[in-house]
Amino acid sequence: MRGFIAILFVGLFLNACSVKYDDISMQNNQLQISSIDHKTKEQIDSLAMMISNISYSIDKNEAYDLAKNSIYYSMYLANRYDLVKPPSFQNFLVNQKLREKGLCYHFASDLGEFLLDNQYKTISLYRVVANEGSYFLEHHALSITAKEKTFKEGIVLDAWRKSGNLFFTYLKEDKEYKWKLKKQLQ
């Protein structure tokens, strides 16, 4: 009986904390968005403006496309990973082999690959890491910037930190992490 109660509790807990982004899917490697809510539209516009403000050399259409793709693909990944909140609990589930993916480096790697497929001409993509080598504190994300700028002059894109709701800020203004270059992607 105790085993049944434990399983029931875990099942209820997992369902209560599940993350699900409606209205987004993937078909033929293309994001399919059935509706755009006002909050998400504001996020896209804000990120696109930040990207454009890095340098005059960044194409504004590329900045908007990258912003839109980053925000929506982060949501898609959360759905694909069957994500739960908080992110640290997702890590526990992955480490216990109860979920296949959903660690920060999965988000950074998969989002980076998706963005690379767009072959942006005026924007560079980087994998960045904080606290490398620390089992509990190591964290991975992306940095985006203009072609002529270094990763330190860019914007951090972190899809893990807020459970698929893309966190972004200028890399130098990130209060939680001190980022180092892992590798240049594009």
Report how far apart, in Å, the C-alpha atoms of 80 and of each of 31, 74, 131 are.
13, 10, 27
Q: Quick: pLDDT tens for 129-163.
A: 999 888 789 999 999 999 999 999 999 999 999 99
| Model pTM score | 0.87
Q: Quick: pLDDT tens for 59-109.
A: 999 999 999 999 999 999 999 999 988 888 888 888 899 999 999 999 999
